[in-house]
Structure 1
Amino acid sequence: MAAALTLLLIGSLLQGALCGEFRASIPQKMEVLSGSCVTIPCSFNITAEHKSNLDNTCKAVWIKDPKTVVFASTFSNPNPKNGELIGNLTKKDCTTTLNNITTDYNKSYFIFRVECNNKLIYSFNKQKLCISVNADPPSPTLTPSTLKVKEGDSVSLSCSAPAPCLSHPPTLTWTPDLGGSQETLQDNQDKTKVKISNVTFTASHLHHRKEISCTAVYNKQDGGPASSVSTSLTADISYSPQHITVSVNPSGPVLEGRNVSLTCSSTANPAVRNYTWYRADGGQETFIGIGAVLSLNVSKKDSSFFCKAENDIGVGRSNLSQIDVQCMYYISKVLCFIKQAYFKRLI
């Protein structure tokens, strides 16, 4: 008995699969820009008994729930919504573009109906599309949404924006210009379209704390002002110390035996954790101290210095900094000579 019931159930399932059913595949919801168009991806199935009825007499009809016809693929309806059947009904493709969408259709449900000059007339009431009409388009999506890398890393960013109106897809631009970008038009899972721009560049310390933005510009079908929306991220680039400089106080000639203050400055991310100082003597480098600021009692041999800055990423060094050290003995002789000359003039 159980075996017989099982066979009966399997037979019923097979019969249903072979006979097919009336069913449409359309998105559950779409967001549309007011004044533009919407291309509705649509496909459908019918029962096997109606397969021969799907012919060139068939037309696509879109109904605003409950009974308002907004588009028909023939002009038999006196007030059709301006649009175009993109798909081929004989291939069960009912993809349709509705033009010049207004706010009158905001939050409305739409139903697809196939009408043929035979027995095949069917409204797919179980599958409904809700259209939201907006004054502004949604902001584009950046992937990844944050950027934290090291200098020298290869970075790939992707910007995506919905493209509900295929005749007026958005244009995507990057700021700043990061090099050549590649744009594609791709399908979402529900067959709606999305415009994608991909850009690849090498991270530099020059990008650190810079705002990287993707802007989507939508031109409207009705000729109204274009709508522009942007999404941004701030780049966090880790890099070794750069732009390392040495400042000397006081500047200018310094008497031998006097103190000078040397300051080492740099930019780095993360911050510098160690400054070291060196005296350059010909081809030799002699370590003389640590810290961002170094106080030094100078001698004649202390004429060329440089500093190194180190963080977790690496080490950088400054150019040589020269100190004009004046010998005390030489200065004394000059002063003595001037003094003697002065007194001779008085005599």
Structure 2
Amino acid sequence: TVTVNMLWSAQFMTFMPQTIEVLSGSCVTIPCSFGIEDKYKSKVDETCKALWKYDVETVVFDSRNPQTRGHLTGNLRNRDCTTTLNNMRPENSKNYFFRLSTAPCRTALTLFYVPPTPTLTPSTLKVEEGTSVSLKCSAPAPCLSHPPALTWTSSLGHIQESLQENLDRTKVQTSVLTFTASRLHHGKEISCTAVYNKQDGSTQSVSTSLTADISYPPKNTTVSVSPSGPVPENSRVTLTCSSTANPAVSSYTWYRADGGRETVMGTGHVSKIKAFRDSGPFFCEAENAIGSGRSNISQIDVHCKYHKWSLVSDMNCHLDLSPFVHRLLSEQQHHCESTTTEGSFHFALQQLQLPGINYSEIFCLQP
């Protein structure tokens, strides 16, 4: 914090910052004001001069001498002794005194080669998705004719800039970035850069940053099946539920979707099941402290084994089939001679090939 230095005399009281940081090669505006007893106010007019000295004796600024390196920006009639000094150098880091009549007061100027790091408020960002966020970047503006330019690494939203005054009347350049937090911002570095333009035309910049921590419920929840593609009936199948979330997913639940009914079939990131011909559609649900997210409905492509066939007549044979194979055979009408009951077919005396079936061939033999 900066404290205000007040020096008193019987007739005179002066206010100015105790210390000011200045960028080497730039100017500095020293906020200064004074109070004076009423009986002396009439004596403060344009004939008065403002003097700035360092180390008590050496005059560095005289408002009545245009050769000195600076100018009085305040109005002494209004008890404003604010002064700008130009082209400050490291050797100018000294205690400076203001003098009006017989009352001196002091401020210390500290010069630096590298500008001070901008300040981010708040210094950390940890919010839930959908929250409205305002980040303020602040940088000292000791030279009012060359205030720092503030830029953000990413244009995440609306930016509003202003030059503000501290309690000690020093100035600070601010930039407020307002946006709505999204999961896409999670882990993203948000930085603010202050660019200082010196009086010799050169520039210096310095940055500060934070990493966004955005909480959000599970998103992009998906199911993967291994092995992929058609699988034999009664074989083992591994189901994996994946999702992105912050904080991490705390639980996974597997559901069987049977019409409008949902039945829990297991829990865990990975579920191992047996593939049956009547395996219905299913999905997984991921959950964390913020909420939950569901995958799309999936279904395992189960290829059923063929049932035993039996001889029916001299010319035909009978084969009991699952509904799945029943459908496949119905698509191969050129192989069928007749159909008697649902799930039972009669085939001509020939070898019957079923496209897409990898397990065996169906054929009938004449006795």
Question: Normalization by structure 2: what TM-score?
Answer: 0.78
Q: Does 1:109 align with 2:89?
A: no
- Give the whole-Å Cα distance in 1 for the aligned partners of 2:277 and 2:179: 50
- Give the whole-Å Cα distance in 2 for the aligned partners of 1:340 and 1:243: 47
- Give the whole-Å Cα distance in 1 for the aligned partners of 2:29 and 2:44: 23
- The equivalent residue for 1:252 is 229
- Give the whole-Å Cα distance in 1 for the aligned partners of 2:71 and 2:305: 95
The one-character-per-residue Cα deviations of 1:110-169 (angstroms, maximum 9, x if unpaired) are: 11123xxxxxx3341xx3110010001111111111222222222222111111111111
- The equivalent residue for 2:347 is none
- Give the whole-Å Cα distance in 1 for the aligned partners of 2:142 and 2:116: 11
- Give the whole-Å Cα distance in 2 for the aligned partners of 1:33 and 1:303: 72
Q: Which amino acid aligns with 1:197?
A: S
SS of the residue 1:53 aligns to:
coil
Q: Which amino acid aligns with 1:97?
A: T
- The equivalent residue for 1:210 is 188
Among 182, 188, 198, which residue is 1:220 paired with?
A: 198
Q: Contact 2:12–2:103 at 8 Å: present in 1 too?
A: no
- The equivalent residue for 1:28 is 18
Distance 1:336 1:274, change over 3 A: closer
Q: Which amino acid aligns with 2:145?
A: S
Distance 1:243 1:33, change over 3 A: same
- The equivalent residue for 2:64 is 74
Cα drift, residue 338 of structure 1: 4.9
- The equivalent residue for 1:324 is 301
1:117-196 correspondence runs (5 A): 121-124=101-104, 127-196=105-174
- Give the whole-Å Cα distance in 2 for the aligned partners of 1:194 and 1:57: 33
The one-character-per-residue Cα deviations of 1:32-67 (angstroms, maximum 9, x if unpaired) are: 000111011111123444322211222222112221
Q: Contact 2:119–2:137 at 8 Å: present in 1 too?
A: yes
Mark the runs of 5 or more structure 2 residues left unpaired by the alignment. Answer: 1-8, 307-324, 329-351
Greater strand fraction, Structure 1 or Structure 2: 2
Q: Contact 2:353–2:362 at 8 Å: present in 1 too?
A: no
Q: Does 1:95 align with 2:71?
A: no
Q: Contact 2:30–2:82 at 8 Å: present in 1 too?
A: yes
Q: Which moved more, 1:147-156 or 1:24-33?
A: 147-156
Cα drift, residue 240 of structure 1: 1.0
The one-character-per-residue Cα deviations of 1:182-204 (angstroms, maximum 9, x if unpaired) are: 11111111110111112222222
SS of the residue 1:164 aligns to:
coil
Task: Give the superposed CA RMSD.
Answer: 2.5
Cα drift, residue 244 of structure 1: 1.1
1:296-335 correspondence runs (5 A): 296-302=273-279, 304-329=281-306, 330=325, 334=354
- Give the whole-Å Cα distance in 1 for the aligned partners of 2:362 and 2:34: 111
Q: Which amino acid aligns with 2:235?
A: R
Q: Which amino acid aligns with 2:242?
A: S
- Give the whole-Å Cα distance in 2 for the aligned partners of 1:184 and 1:150: 28
SS of the residue 1:294 aligns to:
strand
- Give the whole-Å Cα distance in 2 for the aligned partners of 1:295 and 1:100: 75
Q: Does 1:64 align with 2:54?
A: yes
SS of the residue 2:214 aligns to:
strand
Higher relative contact order (CA 8 A, sep 6+): 1
Cα drift, residue 249 of structure 1: 0.6
SS of the residue 1:145 aligns to:
coil
Mark the runs of 5 or more structure 1 residues left unpaired by the alignment. Answer: 1-18, 115-120, 342-347
Greater helix fraction, Structure 1 or Structure 2: 1
Cα drift, residue 340 of structure 1: 6.2
Distance 1:276 1:336, change over 3 A: closer
Cα drift, residue 74 of structure 1: 2.5
- The equivalent residue for 1:8 is none
Q: Contact 1:33–1:133 at 8 Å: present in 2 too?
A: yes
- Give the whole-Å Cα distance in 1 for the aligned partners of 2:359 and 2:121: 76
Q: Contact 2:305–2:359 at 8 Å: present in 1 too?
A: no
Question: Normalization by structure 1: what TM-score?
Answer: 0.83
Cα drift, residue 322 of structure 1: 3.8
Q: Which moved more, 1:54-63 or 1:297-306?
A: 297-306
Q: Which amino acid aligns with 2:79?
A: K
Bigger Rg, which one: 2
- Give the whole-Å Cα distance in 2 for the aligned partners of 1:96 and 1:272: 60
SS of the residue 2:51 aligns to:
strand
- Give the whole-Å Cα distance in 2 for the aligned partners of 1:307 and 1:161: 50
Cα drift, residue 211 of structure 1: 1.8
- Give the whole-Å Cα distance in 1 for the aligned partners of 2:14 and 2:48: 16
SS of the residue 2:184 aligns to:
helix
